[in-house]
Amino acid sequence: MEVSLMSSSQAKICKTELGCKDLRLRKTGIRFSAKAVDSEPILETKSSTSSKSLDRLRLFVGLPLDTVSDGSTINHARAIAAGLKALKLLGVEGVELPVWWGVVENEEMGKYHWSGYLAVAEMVQKAGLKLHVSLCFHSSDEPKIPLPKWVMKIGESQSSIFFTDRSGHHYRKCLSLAVDDLPVLDGKTPIQVYQDLCESFKSAFSPFIGSTITGISMGLGPDGELRYPSHHKPKCAKNGTISGVGEFQCYDTNMLKLLKQHAEANGNPLWGLGGPHDALVMISHRTGITSSTITVGLGKVLMATSSFLGIQASSCRDVCKEFVQTHLAGMDLSDKNQPHDSLSSPESLLAQIQATCNKHEVEVAGQNLASGSPGGLEQIKKNMLGDNPIDLFTYQRMGAHFFSPEHFPSFTEFIRSLNQPEMHPDDMPSEEVEATESVQTSSDPNIHLQTA
């Protein structure tokens, strides 16, 4: 089933005489560098690798997670505006904007604040870029963006609305999938609340939907992924690493009731005494969320319903059946760069999930987990050119590191390589030009440009 209105125009990769922008915002203390000015289109050429050409790839870049954090204000607006110009010059098709439930509907149920996000949509439109919106119904640790205050208040007296592990610890970063159809939110079910938000979104952004906004994705669980939370990350963990495989955190009252019902219905009541062996509740949750968006008329731009690198490939067969499109995160991860004792194979996991999606004719879009991972850009391109090539990739994420001298030149060359697998020496910028070129692109006194 194809219901996407995502733009099919080919990204025009640009040839760039590289100068260096050094952007400083006095009030925010933000500073980043960006190389992307004085561009002209690269002539299209035929390549011997045309059978796996990436000239149809639609490339998006994620905006900062805290682009809007209070409902009405764009954080780092000048830096983002300059970044949009740089991305446009590179030939990137658009940007992805995370829209947080805890920002939009923070104070009380049904009271929505869209002004900050609307301002971002206008900025993107003026920059001549497309916009993908990610509706996030979970919280974020860094930057700190919690669930709505009124939801957290309900959770203080009804902790069973959250995931719970075997030891009784609650995961308060999203609601348990088991309460989707229970009236636990002041008389409404979570699905009804999500649908109301989608209705409000459709009304507020109607001037942009189908033109500037060409894709909408729905988060479906922890960190937006269709899965159970596996770990409570300990603050003392070294380098953010966690050992062990984790466990299903599915011991809240409502989840155990559903597990018991499914076990008895399948003639195996003993299965209802512990953690599940499949993802029946996940499938029901997926159906409820996607149905709510289609009901309010957003199906035409619903481009992805989950980013589920964390789901077991053996459990995603049924999950795939009704997806419009899904995002696979972790396309920057390679087996050789994983710690030996982790026994992890992200390449095998991605291959298994892609194979399942292909079997059920589910379109796949790609994402990286983080910019700057070892060999990340090379691995992304390898996945794009593999046995299951993709035509949409979202690179995460714009920010100080993204535009730093350590990262942005590599990203620029990565963009070039998508249309020019082997760059001719005449197309390489000379050191003399790089050292002497300077460009003024803004009259804003708070934005300073300097050469490399």
pLDDT of residue 264: 92
Weakest mean pLDDT among 27-31, 148-152, 379-383: 27-31
pLDDT surpassing 70 at residue 71: yes
Burial class of residue 24, CB neighbours in 10 A (0-12, 13-18, 19+): middle
As beta bridge partners, residue 23 has: 32, 447
pLDDT one-digit tens code per residue, 387-428? 777 888 999 999 889 999 999 999 999 988 876 655 455 655
Please state the domain extents for the chain.
14-449
What CATH class is the domain 14-449?
A: alpha beta
The answer to whether the beta carbons of residues 19 and 38 sit under 8 Å apart is yes
Q: Write down the H helix ranges in 59-180.
A: 77-90, 101-104, 115-126, 149-157
**Predicted model pTM:** 0.75
Q: Round to whole Å and give the CA distance between 22 and 24.
A: 7
Which sign does the torsion angle of CA 248, 254, 256, 261 carry?
negative
Closest CA to 305 of 214, 393, 319: 319
pLDDT surpassing 70 at residue 235: no
The answer to whether the beta carbons of residues 331 and 393 sit under 8 Å apart is yes
What is the average pLDDT across 45-59?
52
pLDDT of residue 92: 94
What is the average pLDDT across 91-100?
96
pLDDT of residue 432: 38
Q: Round to whole Å and give the CA distance between 146 and 137.
A: 10
If phi > 0 it is left, if psi is from -120 to 50 it is alpha, else beta; for residue 333 that is: beta
The answer to whether the beta carbons of residues 284 and 292 sit under 8 Å apart is no
Strands (DSSP E) contained in 127-286 are: 130-136, 162-164, 170-175, 213-218
Give the pLDDT band of residue 442 (cuts 50, 70, 90): very low
Give the pLDDT band of residue 312 (cuts 50, 70, 90): very low
pLDDT one-digit tens code per residue, 240-261? 455 445 567 778 899 889 888 8
First to last CA, the chain: 49
